[in-house]
Amino acid sequence: MGKTVRILGLDPGLRHTGWGILDSRDSRVTFVAAGVADSSDSLSLSERLAELHAQICTVIGEFKPDEAAIEETFVNKNPNSTLKLGQARGAVLLAPARSGIPVSEYTPNQIKKAVVGAGHAEKQQVDMMVHTLLPGCGKLRPDAADALAAAICHSYMRVAAERMKMLRALEK
């Protein structure tokens, strides 16, 4: 049996950045905590980014994850919104990076496929599967559920990578 790895999942957004913590051992995942880092609309962009960064640093300090997973930014129709999302993502990515925590990035479709089995799943399907896989998580805000989905995806991907490594070693 492998060791337990604590994973921080992140769903970045300028207004609301979801975060979720789970423990992964072999192919089992266990809920630890989840929440949302909110920024204040009344602050300047730089202050909002600092606010998000500080809140994620607090989560990292409290839960001490070993690895992190973050949803990649998708380009939407409004370039200004995409730019602000990218800036929020950068502020959030900086927190685990400065703590020496390796970060893996996944597209929304990769996360949906890993959690639901379909890359174009609806948000409600992702939420339902997060609650099915992590029964102790209780009621979640959508951003927190998406962050847990990123962590679940990372857990499955790392287990698959470990198994492939073992198979390659056996072939030698």
Instruction: Give the domains, in start order, of the chain with CATH numbers.
Output: 5-171 (3.30.420.10)
Q: Which tens digits make up the pLDDT trace of 54-91? A: 999 999 999 999 999 998 876 677 888 888 889 999 99
Q: Looking at the annotation, which residues are catalytic? A: 11, 71, 143
Q: Indicate the pTM of the whole model.
A: 0.91
With a cut of 50, which residues of the chain have pLDDT below it? none
Using a 10 angstrom Cβ sphere, with 0-12 exposed, 13-18 middle and 19 or more buried, the burial of residue 75 is: exposed
Enumerate residues 6+ apart whose C-beta is below 8 A from 166. none
Residue 1: its pLDDT value, please?
55
Residue 28 in 3-state DSSP?
strand
